[in-house]
Structure 1
């Protein structure tokens, strides 16, 4: 994958996270504050816990830090998969956001 291809796929992922937050907030499910700074998105939940998603451009990876741990994802041509076999990005994000917010939350690509 070239640098430009990585940036294109990674930007789509970050936009999908932001749009999911907008949908969740509009539905009144949970108040999820999302702040974007360049290649990093910080999600803050009502209990002040956070999930941080950031781009690692030299490695062509997306990293996510949550209470459950840190995860590294690479695009496999169809989805962002954990480099250690722990599954797909949006599934893990949904699980961690649900755990940290105390309410069921679903993020989608």
Structure 2
């Protein structure tokens, strides 16, 4: 994947996250600054989602740790360590941080 393709794909990820948060109407504030999306929850907890251009990865930082996701041949974002899918994992992290159910469906 070249740089332009990665930027387009990562922009789509950030947009999908923001749209899902808006539709869910959970108690979270978010702010995007370039390729970094910061989610802040009522208890002060944060989740940071950002693109890492050199590695062509999406990185997620949460209280439970840091996670790296690379796009596979089917265009899914897969955790480089455990094989989990970005939106499944992120939904779980948001649900815990917001103390209410959240999904990308």
For normalisation by structure 1, the TM-score amounts to 0.90
Paired residue secondary structure (1:19)? helix
Gaps of 5+ in 2: none
- Cα distance, 1:58 vs structure 2: 1.0
Q: Deviations over 1:31-61 (max 9, x none)?
A: 1111000000001111111100011111101
Whether 1:106 aligns to 2:98 is no
**Would the aligned equivalents of 1:24 and 1:32 in 2 still touch at CA under 8 Å?**
no
RMSD: 1.1
Whether 1:69 aligns to 2:65 is yes
Alpha-carbon distance in 1 for matches of 2:35, 2:62: 17
- Cα distance, 1:107 vs structure 2: 2.8
**Would the aligned equivalents of 1:24 and 1:31 in 2 still touch at CA under 8 Å?**
no
4+ residue runs of structure 1 moved beyond 2 angstroms? none
How many residues align? The count is: 104
Gaps of 5+ in 1: none
Give the corresponding residue for 1:84.
81
